[in-house]
Amino acid sequence: DAKTTQPNSMESNEEEPVHLPCNHSTISGTDYIHWYRQLPSQGPEYVIHGLTSNVNNRMASLAIAEDRKSSTLILHRATLRDAAVYYCILRDQTNDMRFGAGTRLTVKP
């Protein structure tokens, strides 16, 4: 299975943008890139997904490198409620959702 690599932790100041990186050098052509986040004491929640093109939704933006070997989740203005563990996951039709350890984002007021 394709694997992802994320930093263990990151810090951000409130109301500043946050760029959360993810490396997936062994990604295959059929893998979608998904991001989920897990707030304290809750189950994970979907954030965004993409295949090749950059994607935007109301929660975040996803920037995908041209070679697809890396991607970046962008939170345009971090709030205290964005403090969570962020997971970058590769999905195709044959595998399950494989979560790594994720990136723990701390947002400072």
The residues binding other proteins (CB under 8 A) are 32, 34, 41-46, 49, 85, 87, 91-93, 96-102
In the complex with other proteins, the residue whose CB is nearer, 34 or 68, is 34
In the complex with other proteins, the residue whose CB is nearer, 59 or 63, is 59
State both tokens at 12: 């951000």
Cβ atoms 4, 24 nearer than 8 A:
yes
Q: How far apart are CA 70 and CA 59, in angstroms?
A: 20
| Smallest distance, other proteins to C-beta of residue 90, A | 10
Q: How far apart are CA 90 and CA 51, in angstroms?
A: 10
| Smallest distance, other proteins to C-beta of residue 16, A | 26
| Smallest distance, other proteins to C-beta of residue 6, A | 10
In the complex with other proteins, the residue whose CB is nearer, 15 or 46, is 46
| Smallest distance, other proteins to C-beta of residue 71, A | 15
Q: How far apart are CA 51 and CA 83, in angstroms?
A: 26
Q: How far apart are CA 90 and CA 2, in angstroms?
A: 7
